[in-house]
Protein backbone atom coordinates (compact mmCIF):
# COMPACT_ATOMS: atom_id res chain seq x y z
CA UNK A 1 0.00 0.00 0.00
CA UNK A 2 1.30 3.46 -0.89
CA UNK A 3 1.86 5.99 1.91
CA UNK A 4 -0.28 8.46 -0.01
CA UNK A 5 -2.97 7.64 -2.54
CA UNK A 6 -4.80 10.59 -4.07
CA UNK A 7 -7.95 9.74 -5.98
CA UNK A 8 -10.19 11.93 -8.09
CA UNK A 9 -9.38 15.26 -6.42
CA UNK A 10 -11.25 18.30 -7.77
CA UNK A 11 -11.11 21.87 -6.57
CA UNK A 12 -12.71 25.16 -7.59
CA UNK A 13 -12.49 28.44 -5.68
CA UNK A 14 -15.31 31.00 -5.87
CA UNK A 15 -15.88 30.74 -9.60
CA UNK A 16 -16.86 27.60 -11.47
CA UNK A 17 -13.42 27.28 -13.08
CA UNK A 18 -11.74 24.12 -11.83
CA UNK A 19 -8.27 24.66 -10.41
CA UNK A 20 -7.71 20.91 -9.92
CA UNK A 21 -9.24 18.40 -12.27
CA UNK A 22 -9.56 14.72 -11.37
CA UNK A 23 -6.12 14.39 -9.77
CA UNK A 24 -4.86 10.84 -9.21
CA UNK A 25 -1.39 9.90 -7.97
CA UNK A 26 0.42 7.93 -5.31
CA UNK A 27 3.57 8.55 -3.26
CA UNK A 28 5.66 5.86 -1.63
CA UNK A 29 7.56 5.82 1.66
CA UNK A 30 10.87 7.67 1.28
CA UNK A 31 10.06 8.88 -2.22
CA UNK A 32 11.19 12.30 -3.40
CA UNK A 33 8.44 13.61 -5.63
CA UNK A 34 8.46 17.00 -7.35
CA UNK A 35 5.46 18.82 -8.74
CA UNK A 36 6.24 21.18 -11.60
CA UNK A 37 4.07 23.35 -13.81
CA UNK A 38 3.57 26.93 -14.94
CA UNK A 39 2.35 29.66 -12.63
CA UNK A 40 -1.32 29.13 -11.83
CA UNK A 41 -1.27 25.43 -12.79
CA UNK A 42 -2.54 24.50 -9.32
CA UNK A 43 0.64 23.26 -7.58
CA UNK A 44 0.09 25.10 -4.28
CA UNK A 45 -3.60 24.28 -4.27
CA UNK A 46 -2.81 20.59 -4.75
CA UNK A 47 -0.26 20.54 -1.92
CA UNK A 48 -2.69 22.33 0.40
CA UNK A 49 -5.54 19.98 -0.48
CA UNK A 50 -3.37 17.08 0.71
CA UNK A 51 -3.26 18.29 4.34
CA UNK A 52 -6.59 20.13 4.07
CA UNK A 53 -5.26 23.64 4.48
CA UNK A 54 -7.51 23.99 1.45
CA UNK A 55 -10.62 21.81 1.22
CA UNK A 56 -11.03 19.93 -2.05
CA UNK A 57 -14.53 19.69 -3.54
CA UNK A 58 -14.40 15.91 -3.86
CA UNK A 59 -12.04 12.97 -4.11
CA UNK A 60 -9.99 11.01 -1.58
CA UNK A 61 -6.64 11.63 0.09
CA UNK A 62 -5.69 8.28 1.58
CA UNK A 63 -2.72 8.87 3.83
CA UNK A 64 -1.26 6.06 5.91
CA UNK A 65 -4.44 4.04 5.43
CA UNK A 66 -7.08 6.68 6.22
CA UNK A 67 -8.96 9.15 4.06
CA UNK A 68 -7.97 12.55 5.45
CA UNK A 69 -11.00 14.15 3.81
CA UNK A 70 -13.32 12.11 6.05
CA UNK A 71 -11.65 13.04 9.33
CA UNK A 72 -13.24 15.24 11.97
CA UNK A 73 -11.27 18.11 13.51
CA UNK A 74 -9.58 16.15 16.33
CA UNK A 75 -8.67 13.18 14.13
CA UNK A 76 -7.36 15.52 11.45
CA UNK A 77 -5.18 17.29 14.00
CA UNK A 78 -3.70 13.92 14.99
CA UNK A 79 -3.16 12.85 11.38
CA UNK A 80 -1.49 16.17 10.61
CA UNK A 81 1.23 15.48 13.18
CA UNK A 82 2.53 13.03 10.56
CA UNK A 83 2.60 15.66 7.82
CA UNK A 84 5.16 18.47 8.01
CA UNK A 85 5.02 21.54 5.83
CA UNK A 86 7.76 23.82 4.54
CA UNK A 87 6.76 27.17 3.00
CA UNK A 88 8.32 29.53 0.46
CA UNK A 89 8.32 32.39 2.98
CA UNK A 90 9.24 30.09 5.91
CA UNK A 91 6.17 31.00 8.06
CA UNK A 92 8.29 31.46 11.18
CA UNK A 93 7.45 33.77 14.06
CA UNK A 94 10.07 36.49 13.43
CA UNK A 95 10.32 37.86 16.99
CA UNK A 96 10.80 34.41 18.54
CA UNK A 97 14.10 32.57 18.74
CA UNK A 98 15.17 29.82 16.40
CA UNK A 99 14.76 27.15 19.08
CA UNK A 100 11.26 28.40 19.98
CA UNK A 101 10.23 28.27 16.33
CA UNK A 102 11.53 24.73 15.98
CA UNK A 103 9.65 23.62 19.11
CA UNK A 104 6.44 25.03 17.61
CA UNK A 105 6.54 21.91 15.43
CA UNK A 106 5.51 19.96 18.56
CA UNK A 107 2.27 21.94 19.07
CA UNK A 108 0.27 19.29 17.24
CA UNK A 109 1.11 16.88 20.07
CA UNK A 110 0.04 19.24 22.87
CA UNK A 111 -3.26 20.09 24.49
CA UNK A 112 -4.34 23.71 23.96
CA UNK A 113 -3.36 24.43 27.59
CA UNK A 114 0.17 23.02 27.14
CA UNK A 115 0.42 24.89 23.84
CA UNK A 116 -0.46 28.25 25.41
CA UNK A 117 2.18 27.73 28.10
CA UNK A 118 4.67 26.51 25.47
CA UNK A 119 5.69 23.61 27.74
CA UNK A 120 8.22 21.31 26.15
CA UNK A 121 10.02 18.33 27.65
CA UNK A 122 13.81 18.04 27.97
CA UNK A 123 13.64 15.31 25.33
CA UNK A 124 11.89 17.66 22.90
CA UNK A 125 14.46 20.38 23.52
CA UNK A 126 17.34 17.94 23.01
CA UNK A 127 15.76 16.77 19.77
CA UNK A 128 15.39 20.40 18.62
CA UNK A 129 19.10 21.02 19.24
CA UNK A 130 20.00 17.77 17.52
CA UNK A 131 18.06 18.83 14.40
CA UNK A 132 19.56 22.33 14.42
CA UNK A 133 22.99 20.73 14.58
CA UNK A 134 22.13 18.37 11.73
CA UNK A 135 21.12 21.34 9.60
CA UNK A 136 24.22 23.30 10.63
CA UNK A 137 22.50 26.18 12.45
CA UNK A 138 22.86 25.26 16.13
CA UNK A 139 25.03 28.37 16.67
CA UNK A 140 21.93 30.50 15.96
CA UNK A 141 19.61 28.68 18.38
CA UNK A 142 19.00 31.71 20.62
CA UNK A 143 18.88 34.36 17.91
CA UNK A 144 15.59 35.87 16.81
CA UNK A 145 14.53 34.34 13.51
CA UNK A 146 14.40 37.73 11.80
CA UNK A 147 18.17 38.03 12.30
CA UNK A 148 18.82 35.02 10.05
CA UNK A 149 19.35 34.88 6.28
CA UNK A 150 16.65 33.39 4.07
CA UNK A 151 18.56 30.13 3.67
CA UNK A 152 19.05 29.85 7.44
CA UNK A 153 15.36 30.60 8.07
CA UNK A 154 14.39 27.87 5.64
CA UNK A 155 16.61 25.45 7.57
CA UNK A 156 14.69 26.43 10.73
CA UNK A 157 11.48 25.71 8.80
CA UNK A 158 12.78 22.25 7.92
CA UNK A 159 13.77 21.58 11.57
CA UNK A 160 10.26 22.63 12.65
CA UNK A 161 8.79 20.13 10.18
CA UNK A 162 11.19 17.37 11.22
CA UNK A 163 10.56 17.70 14.95
CA UNK A 164 7.01 16.58 14.25
CA UNK A 165 8.46 13.16 13.33
CA UNK A 166 6.47 13.22 10.11
CA UNK A 167 6.06 10.49 7.53
CA UNK A 168 5.47 13.07 4.84
CA UNK A 169 6.82 16.57 4.26
CA UNK A 170 5.06 18.94 1.87
CA UNK A 171 7.30 21.72 0.54
CA UNK A 172 5.69 24.60 -1.28
CA UNK A 173 8.36 26.23 -3.44
CA UNK A 174 10.99 25.92 -0.69
CA UNK A 175 13.76 27.57 -2.74
CA UNK A 176 11.78 30.22 -4.63
CA UNK A 177 13.10 33.02 -2.39
CA UNK A 178 16.69 31.80 -2.17
CA UNK A 179 19.90 32.33 -4.12
CA UNK A 180 21.43 29.35 -5.99
CA UNK A 181 23.91 28.47 -3.23
CA UNK A 182 21.28 28.48 -0.45
CA UNK A 183 18.88 26.64 -2.76
CA UNK A 184 21.37 23.82 -3.23
CA UNK A 185 21.88 23.50 0.53
CA UNK A 186 18.11 23.27 1.10
CA UNK A 187 17.55 20.78 -1.72
CA UNK A 188 20.45 18.61 -0.49
CA UNK A 189 18.90 18.54 2.99
CA UNK A 190 15.48 17.64 1.65
CA UNK A 191 16.99 14.87 -0.43
CA UNK A 192 18.84 13.46 2.58
CA UNK A 193 15.62 13.59 4.61
CA UNK A 194 13.94 11.29 2.10
CA UNK A 195 16.96 9.03 1.57
CA UNK A 196 18.29 8.71 5.11
CA UNK A 197 15.17 9.18 7.22
CA UNK A 198 12.73 7.49 4.84
CA UNK A 199 10.41 10.50 4.95
CA UNK A 200 8.40 11.07 1.78
CA UNK A 201 8.98 14.57 0.34
CA UNK A 202 6.56 16.22 -2.08
CA UNK A 203 8.10 19.41 -3.36
CA UNK A 204 6.56 22.11 -5.56
CA UNK A 205 9.23 23.56 -7.79
CA UNK A 206 9.50 26.19 -10.49
CA UNK A 207 12.96 25.05 -11.60
CA UNK A 208 12.69 22.07 -13.96
CA UNK A 209 16.41 21.32 -13.81
CA UNK A 210 16.29 21.17 -9.99
CA UNK A 211 13.32 18.81 -10.12
CA UNK A 212 15.20 16.66 -12.62
CA UNK A 213 18.35 16.37 -10.57
CA UNK A 214 16.72 15.61 -7.20
CA UNK A 215 13.50 13.70 -7.82
CA UNK A 216 12.68 10.01 -7.90
CA UNK A 217 9.51 11.01 -9.70
CA UNK A 218 8.07 14.16 -11.23
CA UNK A 219 4.45 15.16 -11.66
CA UNK A 220 3.72 17.81 -14.27
CA UNK A 221 0.59 19.93 -13.83
CA UNK A 222 -0.96 22.10 -16.52
CA UNK A 223 -4.19 23.98 -15.95
CA UNK A 224 -5.16 21.76 -13.04
CA UNK A 225 -4.56 18.42 -14.75
CA UNK A 226 -1.69 15.98 -14.41
CA UNK A 227 -0.09 15.83 -17.86
CA UNK A 228 3.05 13.97 -16.79
CA UNK A 229 3.79 11.42 -14.05
CA UNK A 230 7.08 9.62 -14.42
CA UNK A 231 10.82 9.60 -13.88
CA UNK A 232 13.29 12.29 -14.74
CA UNK A 233 14.45 10.20 -17.73
CA UNK A 234 10.92 10.05 -19.10
CA UNK A 235 10.48 13.82 -18.89
CA UNK A 236 11.54 14.65 -22.44
CA UNK A 237 10.94 17.77 -24.57
CA UNK A 238 7.54 16.51 -25.68
CA UNK A 239 6.30 16.14 -22.10
CA UNK A 240 7.91 19.43 -21.07
CA UNK A 241 6.00 21.12 -23.82
CA UNK A 242 2.84 19.49 -22.52
CA UNK A 243 3.56 20.79 -19.01
CA UNK A 244 4.72 24.29 -19.91
CA UNK A 245 3.34 24.72 -23.40
CA UNK A 246 6.83 25.43 -24.71
CA UNK A 247 10.24 23.76 -24.98
CA UNK A 248 12.94 24.18 -22.29
CA UNK A 249 15.06 26.10 -24.82
CA UNK A 250 12.21 28.62 -25.11
CA UNK A 251 11.78 28.52 -21.32
CA UNK A 252 15.37 29.63 -20.78
CA UNK A 253 14.90 32.63 -23.05
CA UNK A 254 11.58 33.84 -21.60
N1 LIG B 1 -7.57 31.44 -2.30
C2 LIG B 1 -7.85 31.52 -3.61
N3 LIG B 1 -9.00 32.05 -4.05
C4 LIG B 1 -9.31 32.12 -5.37
N5 LIG B 1 -8.50 31.65 -6.35
C6 LIG B 1 -7.34 31.10 -5.97
C7 LIG B 1 -6.95 31.00 -4.60
N8 LIG B 1 -5.72 30.39 -4.54
C9 LIG B 1 -5.36 30.15 -5.81
N10 LIG B 1 -6.33 30.54 -6.67
C11 LIG B 1 -6.30 30.41 -8.14
O12 LIG B 1 -6.10 29.03 -8.42
C13 LIG B 1 -5.23 28.87 -9.52
C14 LIG B 1 -4.07 27.99 -9.11
O15 LIG B 1 -3.30 28.67 -8.16
P16 LIG B 1 -2.08 27.98 -7.40
O17 LIG B 1 -1.49 28.98 -6.48
O18 LIG B 1 -2.53 26.70 -6.83
O19 LIG B 1 -1.10 27.69 -8.63
P20 LIG B 1 0.46 27.45 -8.63
O21 LIG B 1 0.73 26.48 -9.71
O22 LIG B 1 0.93 27.10 -7.26
O23 LIG B 1 1.02 28.89 -9.03
P24 LIG B 1 2.41 29.59 -8.68
O25 LIG B 1 3.46 28.72 -9.27
O26 LIG B 1 2.32 30.93 -9.32
O27 LIG B 1 2.49 29.66 -7.18
C28 LIG B 1 -4.82 30.26 -9.96
O29 LIG B 1 -5.64 30.65 -11.04
C30 LIG B 1 -5.10 31.11 -8.75
O31 LIG B 1 -5.42 32.43 -9.11
The per-residue pLDDT for range 190-246, each reduced to its tens digit, is 999 999 999 999 999 999 999 999 999 999 999 999 999 999 999 999 999 999 986
d(CA 200, CA 32): 6
Handedness of CA 227, 230, 234, 237 (dihedral sign): positive
SS3 state of residue 196: helix
User: In 3-state terms, what secondary structure has residue 220?
Assistant: strand
ipTM above 0.95, yes or no: yes
Measure 41 CA to ligand 1 centroid, in angstroms: 7
The residue whose CB lies within 8 Å of the most ligand 1 atoms, and thus the one to mutate among 9, 13, 48, 251, is 13
Q: How far is CA 140 from the centre of its chain?
A: 24
**Alpha carbon distances (Å) from 243 to 31, 50, 88, 203, 239:** 22, 21, 22, 16, 6
Q: Whose CA is nearest to atom 8 of ligand 1?
A: 45
Q: Atom 30 (ligand 1): residue with closest C-alpha?
A: 40
- Percent of all residues in the chain with a pLDDT value above 90, rounded to a whole number: 88
Whole-model pTM: value is 0.93
Closest CA relative to residue 175, chosen from 139, 147, 201, 136: 201
What Å distances lie between residue 122 and 103, 114, 128, 136, 196, CA to CA?
A: 11, 15, 10, 21, 25
pLDDT of residue 38: 96
Beta strands 225-230 and 32-36, pairing class? unpaired
DSSP code at position 7: E
Q: Which residues contact 52 (CB under 8 A, 6 or more apart)?
A: 61, 68, 69, 76
Phi, psi angles (nearest 5°) of residue 99: -65, -40
Taking the CA of residue 14 as reference, the ligand 1 atom at the shortest distance is 4
For ligand 1, atom 17: residue with the closest CA: 44
pLDDT for the residue numbered 253 = 44
What does residue 8 show for φ and ψ, rounded to 5 degrees? 60, 40
**Strands 225-230 and 58-63, bridge-based pairing:** unpaired
Task: Compute the distance from residue 44 Cα to the ligand 1 centre, in Å.
Answer: 7
Q: Which tens digit of pLDDT belongs to each residue from 1-43?
A: 999 999 999 999 987 789 999 999 999 999 999 999 999 999 9
Encode pLDDT of 126-173 as tens digits.
Answer: 999 999 999 999 999 999 999 999 999 999 999 999 999 999 999 999
Cβ pair 189, 162 in contact under 8 A: no
Amino acid sequence: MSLLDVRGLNKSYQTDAKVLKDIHFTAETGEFLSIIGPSGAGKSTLLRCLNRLVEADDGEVIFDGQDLRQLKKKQLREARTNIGMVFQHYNLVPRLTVIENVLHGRFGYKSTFQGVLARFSEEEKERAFYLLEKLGIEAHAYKRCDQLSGGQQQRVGICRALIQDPKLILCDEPIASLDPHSSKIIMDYLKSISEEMGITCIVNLHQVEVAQSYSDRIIGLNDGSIVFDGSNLQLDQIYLKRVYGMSTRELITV
